[in-house]
């Protein structure tokens, strides 16, 4: 059943740091020796919550949840500013440009039933449905209400 779900993107926005940090606004961080030994890997995390539309609560709607998540991410990026940067290759050594480029934040509606997802073969059932394609930066986040 994996890979059968379709995702309709309703909004794609870049979320940046809430505050400017005392660090230089544009600097480079080299990857560690361990990062250089391992092949480049894109890691994915997805979290599941109850659909607020099913709870009958007028205040806690999907749009309110999105606003709360964006605000919290913006505040987290103050301390974890590296996630708002971009990967770059310089002199055959990859590094992260800490420039507050932002995190891709995708709002999408997944046309998939949670019980139809195959978590043992997640690359075929979850990727592209609940996990966004990383386009620019170090991190991409997708928020989707599911059935």
pLDDT in tens, 64-120: 888 889 999 999 998 888 888 888 877 777 888 888 888 989 888 777 777 777 777
Residue 54 is encoded by which pair of tokens?
Answer: 């099913």
User: Bigger pLDDT: 81 or 9?
Assistant: 81
Question: Tens digits of per-residue pLDDT, 121-143?
Answer: 777 777 767 777 777 778 888 88
Distance CA 63, CA 141 (A): 16
CATH number of 6-143: 3.30.559.10
pLDDT of residue 70: 92
**14 Cβ neighbours under 8 A, 6+ residues apart:** 101, 102, 103, 104, 105, 136
Is 0.85 topped by the overall pTM?
A: no
Q: Which residues lie across from 104 on neighbouring strands?
A: 14, 140
pLDDT of residue 72: 94
Strand segments (E) across the chain = 6-15, 27-30, 86-90, 93-98, 103-111, 140-143
Q: Are 14 and 122 in contact (CB under 8 A)?
A: no
**pLDDT band with cut points at 50, 70 and 90 for residue 24:** low
Domain locations in the chain? Answer: 6-143
User: Bigger pLDDT: 40 or 97?
Assistant: 97
Question: Tens digits of per-residue pLDDT, 45-74?
Answer: 666 666 655 556 666 677 888 888 999 999
């Amino acid at each position: 059943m994996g890979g059968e779900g379709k995702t309709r993107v309703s909004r794609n926005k870049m979320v940046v740091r809430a505050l400017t940090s005392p660090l230089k606004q544009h600097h480079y961080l080299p990857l560690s020796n361990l990062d250089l030994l391992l092949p480049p890997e894109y890691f994915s995390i997805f979290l599941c919550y109850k659909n607020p539309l099913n709870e009958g609560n007028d205040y806690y709607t999907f749009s309110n949840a999105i606003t709360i998540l964006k605000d919290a991410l913006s505040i987290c990026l103050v301390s974890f500013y590296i996630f708002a940067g971009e990967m770059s290759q310089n002199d055959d050594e990859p590094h992260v440009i800490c420039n507050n480029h932002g995190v891709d934040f995708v709002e999408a509606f997944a046309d998939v039933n949670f019980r139809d997802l195959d978590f043992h073969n997640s690359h075929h059932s979850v990727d592209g449905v609940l996990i966004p394609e990383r386009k620019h930066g170090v991190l991409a986040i997708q928020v989707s209400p599911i059935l």
